[in-house]
Structure 1
């Protein structure tokens, strides 16, 4: 059987790790928002949580860190904090869940503790995914509101979605999926344990074979 408890556990670890790496990359990518001007098409501006970058054909990419945290918009301040929290919780989820995975020689004689570690890892992975989706969605919402704000003149360039927004959504969904797979793995292990217990129970009726006695004349 391909879909076993061990396979599900390892898939959960792999998906959670992928979501964690994607969220970490998203946190430091200066591509959360992009802007280009119709008046000067050779210049492209990129805004991230930590840097503001300018791309020109003559010079290339030039990035500059923000001068002050308090000078940032509120949505970027919130995004900074939540993305860092998400990465920390996602790393903690992997560290907690790994000792409970089959094949890892930790707490071998304590199946209940291994089960609790997998559940806790799934919960932490869920929290990490939500704290990734929340800031990305908030920045996306404020970008849409500012883009369609009628108070800005039409000639002024406006911020649009960058590639980091989509990678952030993907990373958050991967973390939530990984946490869900941890829960599925725990349910599969519980089912296997119940089936094994019922099969080996001494109260199970055993099928007996009856043979008809025949005589040879």
Structure 2
């Protein structure tokens, strides 16, 4: 296909990685990782994130409060904070590293090996960013499901459920992984385009020796 070029693949990888990075950044600060609605008071909705706990009522609206102490947080939220910070940092670094390796950028002109190595490094960083987004979201989702089906809690006791931020986190993590994969595909396409053309098969010339017969005149 005409549009499926190395330059187009590089741009696509950059845009997909940028979309995943923005989604992961928004997910980090959304207070919608877990939701809870009390059956005793259906007018109150609780939301919990990595940094805040929020209460929504129709009379007052939404009110958020930051956690009093980091050490008082559950272990899954503490781990998620660290991993999401690593995810956003490595995702931003992947875009910065990939910029000079893109075709059309004057940096490292005439050095295809350097551009190739830069794009490979960007793909690895995008993969790390995606995995460190998928991991905390999956951990919090797992602990939420386990606590929800815990038979030790009374039935009347409200329980946390999976919030909308979980799905945006999964989407952002997958986008980062896909973006890193597209960087690798762009590198492979560049290697294929730079491959020297194969020489046509030349027919083998067989040298035949001509034998001459000597005749003697008596």
TM-score (norm 1): 0.91
Q: Is the 8 A contact 1:198 1:204 kept in 2?
A: no
Following the alignment from structure 2 to structure 1, what is the Cα–Cα distance between the partners of residues 174 and 124?
14
Q: What is the match of residue 197 of structure 2?
A: 198
Q: What is the match of residue 7 of structure 1?
A: 8
Q: What is the match of residue 139 of structure 1?
A: 140
1:117-174 deviations in whole A, cap 9, x for unaligned? 0000000000000000000000000000000000000000000011100000000000
Q: What is the match of residue 57 of structure 1?
A: 58
Q: What is the match of residue 158 of structure 2?
A: 157
Task: State how 1:1-217 maps to structure 2 within 5 Å.
Answer: 1-194=2-195, 197-198=196-197, 204=200
Residue 73 of structure 2: SS of its match in structure 1? coil
Question: Tell me, which stretches of 5 or more residues in structure 1 are unaligned?
Answer: 208-217
Question: How many pairs align?
Answer: 202
Following the alignment from structure 1 to structure 2, what is the Cα–Cα distance between the partners of residues 55 and 150?
28
Shift, 1:105, TM fit: 1.5
Following the alignment from structure 1 to structure 2, what is the Cα–Cα distance between the partners of residues 32 and 205?
63
Residue 47 of structure 2: SS of its match in structure 1? strand
1:42-100 deviations in whole A, cap 9, x for unaligned? 00000000000000000000000000000000000000000001000000011111111
**Structure 1 ranges of 4+ moved more than 2 A:** 203-207
